[in-house]
Structure 1
Amino acid sequence: MRMTVIGCGYLGAVHAACMAELGHEVVGIDVDQDKIAALQAAKAPFFEPGLPELLERTMATGRLRFTTDMAEAEGSQVHFVCVGTPQKRGEFAADMRFVDAATEALLPHVGPGELVVGKSTVPVGTAARLAALVAQAAPDALGLAWNPEFLREGHAVEDTLRPDRLVYGVPGGPETPEGQRAKNLLDEVYATPLQRNTPLIVTDYQTAELVKVAANSFLATKISFINAMAELCEKVNADITQLADAIGHDDRIGRKFLNAGLGFGGGCLPKDIRAFMARAGELGADQTLTFLREVDSINMRRRIRMVDLAREVCDGSLIGKRVAVLGAAFKPDSDDIRDSPALNVAAQIRLQGGDVVLTDPAAVDNARRAVPDISYADTVEEAVKGAHVVLLLTEWREYRDLDPTTLSGLVREKRILDGRNALDPARWRNAGWTYRALGRPRA
């Protein structure tokens, strides 16, 4: 099948390469000339494990190419819209300019029998609005479907090729002829995953739109719940990790996403729960999602607590103290620093007079552009040299596996703050370190 992917950022580039891997002929389109030049040279414009190799492999087949020319969309049976929906400046609501612009630019090139498919995370009601535009501009097309993505950064290639579920929001719902035609075409797109018995839910537009934001809101709530418990654990010197293990054995609760620490960040969860609240207000359901305000508040408090803890172990002041920060990305296996708790903590410590030296396996260049007034190091050894305190803020495997004895000879003071509860406290304490973590006993 020939298909178009509009928007070649994190979602679109991965989706385009994976669709080519599944055997389709794919053209990726974006307005960013530098991004397109990199992709056309089979170079990933961001860090994502497995993507560079996938780009090289699929580009070599001739099934994948990238361009800035929207006219190249002509002749595709399916057109995926994969552009971003960032948070509006000064508001909670999602900024829909990019989705609207991409759709409007695409519509003159949509032909009879072709299907426009939205994958972006959008406020409920967007699909119906865009479907009306498609019907007006391309009346002979199959219309519009909504096919939300469920990618995890660091696992995006695997999540696209082997999804844990597929959701189609089809025109008129699954029982209508137009809905069935859209489903049939999407079944061809995802023939390989469907042959592996991937669960499929076919529904209406509004349900498909709500699935992604509901899932992200649930995950955010679960993370903030365990972090609220961590706040209580600190008050009474209890152990949040053992508490999470205990309640996680209840299969109604489960252990996943009960890892207390610095909280969530990135380009999805924070802005998606805020946009969800904003949309609920627009729909007159203000009270429905008020709990998400506390979810967001708990999450942001974790960052403040980490700065306070750093100041506490540095004898009450960060002024002139050398602070080594391990991690800038919002999560491991990514170079994404959008709303990164790690980078936010590093910047706050710098504002309080700390001499911050930050390192990260993938995100240093992005961090340096965002926060140029702190120092950066290429290695852990360089970052921790002479440090009064070390903060582990992104749980990269190489940081989880650090040898406390080896680092002992490099730092000025053997103090480590585990912002992700990723280290073995006994191992570090036995090596002579002062170990502190969010929600863990002092000793």
Structure 2
Amino acid sequence: MSVIGCGYLGAVHASAMAELGHDVVGIDVDPSKIALLTNCTPPFFEPGLPEILTSAMASGRLRFSTDIADAAGSDVHFIAVGTPQKPGSHAADMRFVDAAVDALLPHLAPGNLVVGKSTVPVGTAARLADVITASGTGAHLAWNPEFLREGFAVADTVSPDRLVYGVPTGEAGERATALLNEVYAVALAASTPLVVTDYATAELVKVSANAFLATKISFINAMAEIAEVSGADVTQLADAIGFDARIGRKFLNAGVGFGGGCLPKDIRAFTARAEELGRGESVAFLKEVDAINLRRRQRVVDLTVEALARPVHTSKVAILGLSFKPNSDDVRDSPALDVAVQLHGLGAGVVATDPEGIANARARHPQLNYEVSVEETLRGADAVVLVTEWPEFRTIDPIWAANLVRTPIIVDGRNALDAVAWRAAGWTYYGLGRP
């Protein structure tokens, strides 16, 4: 098989498929990325990826190339390129998907299966299927959305919680299903749930799942806003409603909100596509989901400024976290980095740290001060702001930390710390939606 696009999705998919026994060529237009992967060095941080990349390369089943012609001879071609937010619009930018398919066409053979994994607006698969049919290559298209969680992508690829195939009707669909069953034979043998459906449903599965998760996060953050003006504790509220099996406790953690390269741009693109289809009102609530999410970032900034014992422009603020979530170096649309940048813009002397995200954050915002050491980040701080709940931040000894800062004030932007322990150590503790 070939995997077109060796970014986060493609590099993980190519490595995992080779580790499962398939012969894989990963293709990308970026020579530096291909050079790193060929040397068994992932171009991003993802737990477990270096190990399976090294193992797959050593087996001889995995190789990488910048030449799309090397895809020729593969039975299955996965499209795993990015679909970023279009500049000046909420819509998804489809240039990379379209370019990948166009480049692949001359190298397709009868019976080949092109498999889309990228997150795309509904209707994309049908359009691309027409392009492939019109090429006269005898190849067909399927859509197989990914459900990777950053930090757990390897496990989610090797042992997915479900598989979805969007296939054409008739004999072409039967062949597509059979080929994908071969690709995912290991997962299917482990009784992984499988849904075989049409193109549009497969496309909607991914964006609707992300929309639901984003809605759940913004719901509890909306409750945090009410808790802050009523004196309630949103953490206990979440525990109480989470016992309801219809609701569940997962993704009911109030805080600074969601970010990364998927949820924010996917819900915006979903809204834009619904409007194009004349059904914008059906997902109009997602605009408020997005607005709530962005408000929580501002709330952390405002709370920090309010908490400071001196003017913000004379204060040092220690920022714990830059990546949008733990176990990732991804700072795309990161709430943590956004908070740091906003506080810097208000004149604070911001010093930030993160176990993996410093290099990517510095590339985007070199104006901030970065420290590898938590100790140096905290030293002399007038306030500490926790915005990414890395284990090494959650387990900081509050007594040790109190001896480093100038003023023991902490804003827990993830409600991840033991408020009682921090207050007992002499800290003024602020959570979101907590008394």
TM range (shorter): over 0.9
Return the letter of the residue paired with 2:164: V
State the SS of the aligned residue for 2:312.
coil
1:431-442 equivalent positions in 2, closer than 5 A: 431-441=425-435
**Counterpart residue number, 1:161:** 158
Which residue in the other structure is 1:386 paired with? Answer: 380
1: distance between equivalents of 2:231 and 2:306?
A: 16
Q: Name the residue aligned to 1:352.
A: 346
Cross-structure match for 1:301: 295
Give the one of 246, 250, 254 matched to 1:256.
250
Deviation, structure 1 residue 241: 0.4
Partner of 1:145: 142
User: Which of 28, 46, 49 matches 1:48?
Assistant: 46
How much does 1:199 deviate? 0.1
Counterpart pick for 1:201 among 189, 195, 198: 195
Residue 156 of structure 2 is aligned to residue 170 of structure 1: no
Q: Deviations over 1:165-216 (max 9, x none)?
A: 00000012xxx22111100000000000000000000000000000000000
Which residue of structure 1 aligns with residue 109 of structure 2?
111
> In structure 2, how many angstroms separate the alpha carbons of the residues matched to 1:158 and 1:281?
36
Q: What amino acid sits opposite 2:148 in the alignment?
A: L
Identity of aligned residues (%): 66
Q: Secondary structure in 2 aligned to 1:319?
A: helix
- Please tell me whether the aligned partners of residues 107 and 138 of structure 1 are also in contact (alpha carbons under 8 angstroms): no
Q: How many Å separate the matches in 2 of 1:16 and 1:286? A: 36
- For residues 49 and 121 of structure 2, what CA distance do their matches in structure 1 show? 29
Q: What TM-score, normalized to structure 1?
A: 0.97
User: Is the 8 Å Cα contact of residues 3 and 25 (structure 2) preserved in structure 1?
Assistant: yes
Does structure 2 conserve the Cα–Cα contact (< 8 Å) formed by 1:108 and 1:138? no
**Structure 2 Cα separation of the partners of residues 316 and 381 of structure 1:** 22
Tell me if structure 1 keeps the 8 A contact 2:314–2:348.
yes
Aligned to 2:224: 230
> Which whole-Å CA distance do the structure 1 matches of 2:39 and 2:137 have between them?
37
- Find the aligned partners of 2:136 and 2:107 in 1 and give their Cα distance: 9
Question: Once the 2 structures are TM-superposed, how far is the Cα of residue 315 of structure 1 from its aligned partner?
Answer: 3.8
How far the C-alpha of 1:316 sits from its partner, in A, is 6.9
Look up the equivalent residue of 1:408 and give its one-letter code: A
Q: Say whether the 8 Å CA contact 2:309–2:382 is kept in structure 1.
A: no
Cα distance in 1 for residues equivalent to 2:268 and 2:309: 37
CA 1:122 to 1:355, structure 2 compared with 1: closer, same or farther past 3 Å?
Answer: same
* Shift in Å, 1:112: 1.3
* Separation (CA, whole Å) in 2 of partners of 1:228 and 1:105: 46
Contact 2:105/2:137, CA 8 A, preserved across alignment: no
1:181 partnered with 2:179: no
What value does the CA root-mean-square deviation take over the aligned residues? Answer: 0.7
**1-structure distance, mates of 2:34, 2:135:** 27
Match of 1:254, as an amino acid? G
Look up the SS of the partner of 2:317 in the other structure. strand
AA of the residue aligned to 1:284: G
Q: Counterpart of 1:347 in 2: which secondary structure?
A: helix
1:336 correspondence with 2:330: yes
Counterpart-to-counterpart distance in 1, 2:24 and 2:335: 36
The answer (yes or no) to whether the contact 2:57–2:63 under 8 Å persists in 1 is yes
The separation in 2 between residues aligned to 1:311 and 1:336, in whole angstroms, is: 26
Q: Aligned partners of 1:380, 1:316: CA distance in 2, in Å?
A: 23
Q: Structure 2: 5+ residue runs without aligned partners?
A: none
| Paired position in structure 2 for 1:89 | 87
- Match status 1:415 vs 2:409: yes
Classify the secondary structure of the residue corresponding to 2:384. strand
Distance in 2, Cα, partners of 1:317 & 1:236? 28
**Residue 140 of structure 1, CA deviation:** 1.7
The alpha-carbon deviation at position 113 of structure 1 amounts to 1.0
Contact 2:108/2:137 (CA < 8 Å) preserved in 1? no
Q: Would the aligned equivalents of 1:249 and 1:255 in 2 still touch at CA under 8 Å?
A: yes
Greater CA drift, 308-317 or 261-270: 308-317
Q: Deviations over 1:258-280 (max 9, x none)?
A: 00000000000000000000000
Give 1:238 deviation, angstroms.
Answer: 1.1
SS at match of 1:123: coil
2:261, 2:310 → 1: CA distance? 34
Report the Cα offset of residue 136 of structure 1.
1.5
The amino acid across from 1:161 in the alignment is: V
Moved more, 104-113 or 330-339: 104-113
Q: Which moved more, 1:105-114 or 1:244-253?
A: 105-114
2:33 to 21, 32, 35: 35
In 2: Cα distance, 1:401 partner to 1:188 partner: 44
SS in 2 for 1:117: strand
Unpaired runs of at least 5, structure 1: none
Instruction: Give SS of 1:310's match.
Output: helix
- TM-score w.r.t. the length of structure 2 is 0.99
Give the number of equivalent residue pairs.
435
